[in-house]
Structure 1
């Protein structure tokens, strides 16, 4: 399958990869027809999806199954009045229907909008009205259905709600029943253009209302680099990326690049993360490749992993936030797996990663993808010298729009122009580059702490804290200070067996002074039961800063 889209699939080294990776995009590319139906035509029994949960339930689907079921989706959607260009929001957690719905939406030419199950009525109303959503498909979660019901009267474009499960409200239709009754024969009704709208992600909304990130039909091809060259998925191998279907990491790790490469996707459908049960699942399934956010690794290394067989896993990756060196080293020691970091956004495919040709430097994000002209620039847009922190940008997008990079913030010209000027897309993230071309992530522009003239990245202080055995998780933020402008605050979740005390607080402060530059130590240390996070597992430092400001 890859040979259809690449001049070459193998490269001798990173420089060869960076200079000679060439993506061939056919006209009217459509992931549903060209990839899913393409695999089914080659071998309808080729494994595509393994669904499982923490109770030991398991279902397996072939590409032939996905092709037929997505045909049913397209026919069902058409019967409900959904047409090309209409928006459909999916709140399906990791039920198998997520995959069938996404592929069916692509066949129909409708716009897929993945959404987290944690949306409140306010969130649902905002999304429905901003994107003019015609249909919502959700699981039969009581709280979620309650939130949708509360939203109905304020969503004038919303015509129907489909529900997966046993508890179907009177105001919704039974999605599984509708699919079972739909015709499995579907004829491609039109040839989409490559730049037609295919997918909209709503940004996390950590500042202001969420923006609509618009991707076109070529977006899946951008994830060949993500899946094959960073995650190292294999044709026929089982790949697990830990991600809810409402998160852009789902598109990164659970459908597009993986199925293009012929990998078997694992749908690990769990209501609440339990590190012990995840280890049992990993051991039972015998994975080939694995990818998870840092939070997962931080919890796993605190468990007894001796009973879990990691020998079948050939590659482990991480994305969402940087992986602290201490966690990297502990996981390597316990499993023999060197975790390879990757960086990108909902707006992109993988931008920077450890691609495997060069040695891993723990704490480094790696080197740029060949799809993007990545640089680090100062406030005036000039390239930074090695060792200088600046903004991560993608250059020359006006000369050639990189496959995988979003088209624009939908219906928001002002937001698009703020981050995208003169062919340069500014990610809003900061990093520095070393003399060997490795990138070192610092943080979001808003997260950098300015204390007594120093610029302190939260990641480096968190990394120092995590080398102390009492720290399970931590978040470093700034709090205002009349003398220094800002000082460093550490919000800490303690590991099992430790209790908070003034003595432990001072011990952590001294520990940071000894591990890293003394001026970076946290002058304020707060112990908490858990950290605020997005559904994707990213720490919401902005929430900590806001709560601290409210207390002041």
Structure 2
């Protein structure tokens, strides 16, 4: 069973137009995912799979909805025991450990605010987050290096009262499992002044911060319902199946693919808590656990395609989607050739749910992020706000004059200025650029500040990267603009090489000549920098802003040396 008909009028649609026109969410009063989804499954179908989990240490578990209902109630009692109340902010640093689901659901039960974060953050990153969100408790797994960073940040973060260790105990920390076992497995839904309302804040995710300090995106308790479209109609999850989204819980994409929409649509969530990403191991898990639907960024597909996929039994796989970066056409074609599955791209942000997608009834245009999702009235506009013509690049905006799309955030937490700016003119400014083809499909270009203006041309980094990735030596690449006195900006390619290739002036020249043969000459990079890795955000997106900032600093240093 799945619960979709508790929240939508119908499940089956005949076309994209039918879905876009008629899809509607019926929002209950005081909706709470823990009580109204997890507990309902636990009562009506207690043995139904919810979370299928494994790691690299041969540990594995299958949690039913009854298991998670009881575990999250115990965890809620643990949190209450340690002073957590409605509205308190609790930072979760649990990577992909199954306790993440215990704590997330427990916080929902209390009405406290979950603030997921990645294990990759430094003490400075953590200090910023602790103070910006006024974090009261930090829950982290037992990685001593990460725990040390947390302790360093805590010393300068007066709001943090309690550190909770999941796993091995640590001095100065509260051990979760020491208390969890004695906590009651009953937890009543709050009433009265502690009653949880639809517009209460449920979760805060920090954005990746590609060009500034991360913003705090606040979503309310109705946010999970916005991901019905994400899971049922884009990821096309299977009732009784197993869905895998390769996201770590510190990234908002985890909430797109690791809990809400999937469970509403009846699919279990499969989670592989990997120590490091090893493509062959991931393919083994997909085969062993009979994954039915799969979502990953294009970079993951690129690495998987380095392996002989025919060696792995992926016969259970029914559907594959991708998001996070624009999809390279070559990856689309090679994945289809190897698996028979067409990659269906989608687009969204931390601030929203799936805003555009390639839906089941649509013939995907390789490289296109698809068409607007139900409830999203999207336009591509010029800097003056007027609509762009077909094939004209502009900013993606979302119209909200008739009400915000379901699942869109209400604003940035404790930041009215940024909130006002992003909703300037009565629309939501995504800060992303795209163009629309004559069939209504949208094509991602990049962030507004990523566009390169060279010799009068406006050049998308992605379209240059797409060409460069066809060269056999190029594994990963980031394209940026650098100041140039004659062109305004010159194109720079920062490249990670495939194994077996060595950086050299000859190889750089070969790559430049290759680009000129495949694309317009003005798109050929004038500067090539070979590196061992690209700077990335905590969510794995290439951080072009870091490359631009380093180039700017290097130029300033060079100018200063010349002046002296």
Fold-level similarity (TM above 0.5): yes
Name the SS of the counterpart of 1:276 in structure 2: helix
Q: Cα distance, 1:421 vs. partner?
A: 2.1
Q: Residue 184 in 1 paired to residue 188 in 2?
A: no
Is the 2:208–2:538 contact (alpha carbons within 8 Å) kept by the matching residues of 1? no
Q: Which moved more, 1:442-451 or 1:516-525?
A: 516-525
Superposed CA offset, 1:445-480 (max 9, x none): 111110011011011111111112221111111111
Q: Residue 410 in 1 paired to residue 409 in 2?
A: no
- Give the structure-2-normalised TM-score: 0.96
Is the 1:367–1:439 contact (alpha carbons within 8 Å) kept by the matching residues of 2? yes
Q: Cα distance, 1:64 vs. partner?
A: 0.2
Q: Cα distance, 1:491 vs. partner?
A: 1.1
Q: Cα distance, 1:114 vs. partner?
A: 0.5
Mapped partners of 1:184, 1:514: distance in 2 = 66
The match for 2:162 is: 160
Mapped partners of 2:434, 2:491: distance in 1 = 19
Q: Cα distance, 1:228 vs. partner?
A: 0.6
Mapped partners of 2:37, 2:99: distance in 1 = 18
Mapped partners of 1:328, 1:264: distance in 2 = 26
Mapped partners of 1:29, 1:524: distance in 2 = 54
Q: Cα distance, 1:380 vs. partner?
A: 1.2
Mapped partners of 2:460, 2:57: distance in 1 = 41
Is the 1:449–1:456 contact (alpha carbons within 8 Å) kept by the matching residues of 2? yes
Superposed CA offset, 1:129-184 (max 9, x none): 11111100001111110011112222211111111112x22211111222222110
Is the 1:492–1:527 contact (alpha carbons within 8 Å) kept by the matching residues of 2? yes
Q: Cα distance, 1:418 vs. partner?
A: 1.2
Q: Cα distance, 1:91 vs. partner?
A: 0.3
Q: Cα distance, 1:419 vs. partner?
A: 1.0
The match for 1:68 is: 70
Mapped partners of 1:473, 1:148: distance in 2 = 32
Is the 1:213–1:347 contact (alpha carbons within 8 Å) kept by the matching residues of 2? yes
Q: Residue 235 in 1 paired to residue 236 in 2?
A: no
Is the 2:78–2:183 contact (alpha carbons within 8 Å) kept by the matching residues of 1? yes
- Give the structure-1-normalised TM-score: 0.98
Q: How does 1:145-544 map to 2 (within 5 A)?
A: 145-166=147-168, 168-190=169-191, 191-395=195-399, 397-544=400-547
Is the 1:54–1:277 contact (alpha carbons within 8 Å) kept by the matching residues of 2? no
The match for 1:143 is: 145
Superposed CA offset, 1:251-297 (max 9, x none): 11101111111111111101211112111111211100000112111
Mapped partners of 1:258, 1:178: distance in 2 = 31
Name the SS of the counterpart of 1:77 in structure 2: helix
Is the 1:244–1:535 contact (alpha carbons within 8 Å) kept by the matching residues of 2? no
Q: Cα distance, 1:399 vs. partner?
A: 2.6
Q: Cα distance, 1:314 vs. partner?
A: 0.5
After TM superposition, where is structure 1 displaced by more than 4 Å over at least 4 residues in a row? none
Name the SS of the counterpart of 1:181 in structure 2: coil
Q: Residue 52 in 1 paired to residue 54 in 2?
A: yes
Q: 1:96 aligned to 95, 98, 102, which one? A: 98
Give the count of matched residue pairs.
550
Mapped partners of 1:422, 1:223: distance in 2 = 27
Name the SS of the counterpart of 2:61 in structure 1: strand
Is the 1:298–1:473 contact (alpha carbons within 8 Å) kept by the matching residues of 2? no
Q: Cα distance, 1:500 vs. partner?
A: 2.0
Q: 2:120 aligned to 95, 118, 121, which one? A: 118
Mapped partners of 2:336, 2:472: distance in 1 = 17
Q: CA RMSD in A?
A: 1.1
Mapped partners of 1:55, 1:279: distance in 2 = 17
The match for 2:35 is: 33
Mapped partners of 2:375, 2:176: distance in 1 = 39
Name the SS of the counterpart of 1:154 in structure 2: coil
Name the SS of the counterpart of 1:133 in structure 2: coil
Name the SS of the counterpart of 2:155 in structure 1: helix
Mapped partners of 1:274, 1:358: distance in 2 = 33
Q: Cα distance, 1:387 vs. partner?
A: 0.7
The match for 2:129 is: 127
Mapped partners of 2:9, 2:518: distance in 1 = 47
Q: Cα distance, 1:398 vs. partner?
A: 4.1
Mapped partners of 1:269, 1:303: distance in 2 = 21
The match for 1:18 is: 20
Q: Which moved more, 1:151-160 or 1:474-483?
A: 151-160
Name the SS of the counterpart of 2:181 in structure 1: helix
Mapped partners of 2:426, 2:221: distance in 1 = 21
Name the SS of the counterpart of 1:138 in structure 2: strand
Mapped partners of 1:129, 1:369: distance in 2 = 36
Mapped partners of 2:332, 2:178: distance in 1 = 46
Is the 2:482–2:548 contact (alpha carbons within 8 Å) kept by the matching residues of 1? yes
